Every structure is written in structure tokens, then in C-alpha cells.
Amino acid sequence: MKKILIVKTGGTYADYAAERGDFVDWTAQGMRLACDRWVSVDAQAGEPLPAPEEFAGGVITGSHDMVTDGFGWIDDAKAWIRRAVDARLPLLGICFGHQLMADALGGRAGYHPDGLEIGTTDVTLTEAAGDDPIFRDLPRTFPGHVTHSQTALELPSGATLLATGAHDPHQSFRVSEAAWGVQFHPEFDAPAILEYIARRELELAEQGLDAARIRTTVRDTPESASLLERFAAYCLSR
């Protein structure tokens, strides 16, 4: 049976990763995958991305880098995304991965005009989500953890908008049959987003945002988290 590939485009803070594991670990745990059912490739470090046909599915992680940074590895990852979609590999891009997919497939990523979004926000599904393989049966509105300065400013031509939010109109989209992007973080739990709020408190103050108020938004996000397991089940059932 083919494995699921986790494309590492970045990681959490090094000291926090030493304590709790990194984005790839949180993602694999969220998908409920045994250690022999997934592999990770560090695209950010320049590791070559393998042929999409070798895998049952792929997840593109979040990152502290920005899609517009212009690094060579980002261009390489975009090219791989296009190959993966052409090969009909199921994909799930998370936060940076969501923005990268939008940018790679004909949309546009960039800084959100209203600045940083962080905390736990309401994600509202569109009508199209009712027929989507991984979003159907979820509540119309559910909480999701967010921490991002950039966003998918424009979706690719022909993309299906699946979810929106008060700050970000593009909380999720799907391209083609099975390539999804989610701006929110299904792999984060409440302690993780609280850690990010604490570490970005100075940045929040500089933008006129109240970290104490933002902390009051934080709550558990079981519906958001379930998308990882739903995506894995979809990949492994094909």
C-alpha cells in the first residue's frame, strides 16, 4: 500500500519542537497514521521532492517563511504541486501550504490587507462544501486555529470555495477533484495556538491588537482537527 507524503515547508520554533514535536509530527498524528504509513521530505531544506505517483496522498505543511520570499525551494515546491495535481495525487495544503497551492495553480498569495490573523476563529462552510469528500457532514460553522500574515489573495481559476471567515474570505478551497487548501491549522491544538499568541505578543501590540483578548477566543477545534483524518481516509481508500 502506498504511503502518504508530508512535504515539510517549515517547522515550529526549535525549542517548542524539542518539547512537542514539529509540524510533520502533529500532522501525522492528526491523520492517525502509524509510523510506517507516512514519510516526510524537507522541501525547505532543499531535499528533492519525489514523484507524486509513488504516494497515496500528500500534505504540505505550514511555515514561518512567506510564499513571496522568492526562495528557490519555494519555486521548486510550486512546480511539484503542479505535477502532483496533473497526476491526480490528493493534496492538502495547510496555511503556507494553502497559499503556496493557490499561487502555484494560478491564484495569488500575498500579505493580507488587514494584517495578522491569530487565535481561534469561526470557519463557515459554503454550499459547495456539502458535496465535498472531506468537508461534507461537518457543521456549517466550526472553530479553527489561525496564525498567518499572508493569505490566498486570489484563488486559482476554476477553484471551488469551500469555507470562508470574517477576516479571511478564503479559508478553504479545492482545485480539481482532490487538491485542497485550508488557511486554518487542523494540526494545531489549543496549547499550540496559545504558544503562538505568546510568542507573537510584541508583533500583536505593534499592530494594535490585544493579546489578552485574543487568548479568550481560544477553544478546542475537533471539527477542524477531523479534516486530517478525513483526508487520510480519502487517500487510503482510493
State the fold for domain 4-237.
Rossmann fold (3.40.50)
Given a cut of 90, whether residue 15 has pLDDT beyond it is yes
Give the single-character DSSP code of 57.
E
Give the chain's mean pLDDT: 97
- The yes-or-no answer on residue 185 being catalytic is yes
Nearest to 12 by CA among 96, 112, 84: 96
Q: What is the pLDDT of residue 128?
A: 98
Of 117, 148, 187, 235, the catalytic one is 187
Of 95, 98, 145, 167, the catalytic one is 95
Pairing of strands 91-94, 179-182: parallel
User: pLDDT per residue over 135-163, tens digit each?
Assistant: 999 999 999 999 999 999 999 999 999 99
Q: What is the pLDDT of residue 238?
A: 83
Q: What is the pLDDT of residue 211?
A: 97
- Average pLDDT of span 165-180: 97
- The yes-or-no answer on residue 98 being catalytic is no
Domain spans in the chain, listed from the N-terminal domain onward = 4-237
Residue whose C-alpha cell reads 500583536 in the numeric block: 204
Q: What is the pTM of this model?
A: 0.97
144 and 170 Cβ atoms separated by less than 8 Å: no
User: pLDDT per residue over 91-129, tens digit each?
Assistant: 999 999 999 999 999 999 999 999 999 999 999 999 999
Given a cut of 90, whether residue 1 has pLDDT beyond it is no
pLDDT band at residue 69 using 50, 70 and 90 as cut-offs: very high
CA distance 56 to 131: 22
- The yes-or-no answer on residue 95 being catalytic is yes
Of 170, 185, 195, 235, the catalytic one is 185
67 and 103 Cβ atoms separated by less than 8 Å: yes
CA distance 162 to 160: 6
pLDDT band at residue 25 using 50, 70 and 90 as cut-offs: very high
Q: Say which residues have a Cβ less than 8 Å from residue 134's Cβ, sequence separation at least 6.
A: 180, 227, 230, 231, 234
User: pLDDT per residue over 177-192, tens digit each?
Assistant: 999 999 999 999 999 9
Which value, in Å, is the radius of gyration of the alpha carbons in the chain?
A: 16
